[in-house]
Amino acid sequence: MSYRIRYILFFIIDSFIVLSAIFMSYWLLHPTITGYSDKVILISAITLLVSHHIAAYIFHLYNRMWSVASVRELLTISYAVTISIAVASLMQFIVKNDVYIRVMAITWMLHIIMIGGSRFILRVFNDREYLENSSNLKRVLIVGAGQGGTMLAKNLIHAAHPDSVPIVFVDDDIGKLQLKVMNITIEGTTKDIPRLVSKYGINEIIIAIPSLGRVGINSIYKNCIKTNIPVKVMPSIEDVMTGKVAVNEMREVRTEELLGRDEVKLDMVAISRKLTDKVILVTGAGGSIGSEICRQVMNFRPKKIILLGHGENSIYTIHMELQQKSSGTELVPIIADIQDRKRIFEIIERYRPHVIYHAAAHKHVPLMEYNPYEAVKNNILGTKNVAEAANIFNVGNFVMISTDKAVNPPNVMGATKRIAEMIIQNLSTQSNTKYAAVRFGNVLGSRGSVIPLFKKQIAEGGPVTVTHKDMTRYFMTIPEASRLVLQAGTLGENGEIFVLDMGQPVNILDLAQNLIQLSGFTEEEIKIEFTGLRPGEKMYEELLNPEEIQRENIYPKIHIGKANYCSLDDINRLLQNLDNKVETDIKNAVIDLANKKHCMLN
């Protein structure tokens, strides 16, 4: 129906209701009450008719979608009717110096009933049509019967072209149980999800609690995953209200939401003071962490960012990306190898950065077991070159990205990163540069991490390979890891090792099962195979060993450790003798030095 036809139709319907209502009121009272003037009633009716159409125009009663009307629309009708009754009553007073209060009161009530009824009958027909067609729609269970769940249910029911029908709610507020929302019963809590899915033949679960953090989503998802049906999340109320997304634009549960903890929020004001209008150098700028550090740094409008990396393609990619976002920040792409001491010193002397974020490193544990000399050259010698250049040229802050594998390392990669930590701890005792190291667990989505591997294996139809059913790891997101690096640059004073409180470690088998479920498969369709530990791998990772742990946090959810470390003389002796050692001896020498106790305590 066109807008013009609908407008005319409602105009005629309302005209009939307005005129009939006042005469019905007069007729209802006339048999027992006398003294009413037909002339006054007629003038009142005409006044009421005119004033109602004016009020209806003001409150848009003729151009609303009444098929999806709610209580708010009923209140709008009440406002319009009350105004028109008040104007008619005023006219009565002007004509006769009196007001037919009883007649006007009944007229007001009849107006509300008849006009409201004429509108809401469209809502009834719309709901009836929806229910008749619902047998072919996707059956949905909604988690959360609050504002988000109500908005979602209403949107699904009154969609122009519905593809889903809400069947049942669950909510952990016991006081809501057995109540109805949009005529849909709240039949249980999140623990009842598997039972209700089976009872009602549910095809999809939607989590409609937009304010829910990662801990909450992770808890709910544990019940959802038992059902082997798709699980989606409603967008935030803010995004819906600002028009960024529609209510029914659901998204998949993200991997990072299954970590069981919320992201740590950091002090962006302190970071801004450190970076704004400064020269920043990032090594390994083309890598997963390095490139994200560059993106985060860009938010603080530095004067210049030096993008240093060994791979030309990765540096080209991040340089082109940042150029699209640059608003006054000069970007300098540099291809260089951190093992080239002369080149590194020349770069730092030329650009004189205020802050260096050292992300360049070899990080793959099994590969470094096969190539220990390369791990030493890149992770130890490369770090030594950049850190000593920072000291020589008075760089304000030097932040090194380390790893949880540096704790009690049984492998080459972890050992070389622990020795790299020792280098900056030594330099911190004799330099004006403020050195710090930041230890990460595994970073979701980084190159070489387990998540992209699992996703690739699932896309290829499986199997998904897990080393051991009991293996656990700590995880964090790339943006979170990068912000932690920036925060450490504001906190570091004397060779500290900063560690994020990453909650509980994640079981790798559970992670694989969740990813299979998130991808829309079952474990019967995508098999899981156990391959055994690879060279150098640990069953469990640690963030700090017992000797390093300090009770206090220097910043909420950021721990600081004090670690034993060996002198630069010991490290230099190791490096000088490497050329004469076979690879097995290199591995043993590096691991022994990294685990050497009672050297010095920082």
d(CA 504, CA 466): 19
More confident residue, 529 or 558: 529
Instruction: Write out pLDDT tens, residues 209-219.
Output: 876 766 677 77
Q: How high is the pLDDT of residue 397?
A: 92
Architecture of domain 268-444+475-503+542-601: 3-Layer(aba) Sandwich (3.40)
Taking the C-alpha atoms of residue 464 and residue 458, their distance in angstroms, rounded to an integer, is: 7
Examine the pLDDT at 165 and tell me if it is beyond 60: yes
Which range (324-338, 397-411, 519-533) has the least confidence? 519-533
For the chain, the structural domain boundaries read 3-130, 137-253, 268-444+475-503+542-601
> Over 90: is that where the pLDDT of 386 sits?
yes
Q: Which of 413, 537, 403 is nearest to 474 (CA)?
A: 403
Report how far residue 386's alpha carbon sits from residue 260's, in angstroms, rounded to the nearest whole number.
Answer: 37
pLDDT range class, residue 471, cuts 50, 70, 90:
confident
Tracing tokens 């719309």 back to the chain, one arrives at 126
pLDDT bucket at 31, cuts 50 / 70 / 90:
low
- Provide mean pLDDT across the span 494-507: 75
Q: Which CATH superfamily is domain 137-253 in?
A: NAD(P)-binding Rossmann-like Domain (3.40.50.720)
- Report the C-alpha gap between 301 and 279 in whole angstroms: 10
User: What's the whole-model pTM score?
Assistant: 0.63
pLDDT for 548:
60
Q: At what angle do helices 288-298 and 478-491 cross, to 10 degrees?
A: 60
Task: List active site positions.
Answer: 405
Give the DSSP letter string of 132-157: HHGGGSEEEEEE--SHHHHHHHHHHH
Query: In this model, does residue 86 exceed pLDDT 90?
Result: no
Q: What is the largest CA-CA distance in the chain?
A: 122
Domains 137-253 and 268-444+475-503+542-601 share a fold: yes
**Cβ pair 202, 139 in contact under 8 A:** yes
Q: DSSP labels for 180-191?
A: EETTEEEEE-GG
Calculate the average pLDDT of the chain. 79
How many Cα atoms sit within 13 Å of 553 on the Cβ side?
A: 8
Three-class secondary structure of residue 571 per DSSP: helix
Residue 183, Ramachandran bin (φ over 0: left; ψ between -120 and 50: alpha; else beta): left
Pick 188 or 13 by higher pLDDT. 188
* Strand, coil or helix: 80: helix
Chain segment 442-456, per-residue pLDDT in tens: 666 565 567 778 888
Name the helix (H) or strand (E) containing 514: helix 508-518
Percent pLDDT > 70 in the chain is 75
> Is the pLDDT at 334 greater than 80, yes or no?
yes
Task: With cut-offs at 50, 70 and 90, classify the pLDDT of residue 359.
Answer: very high
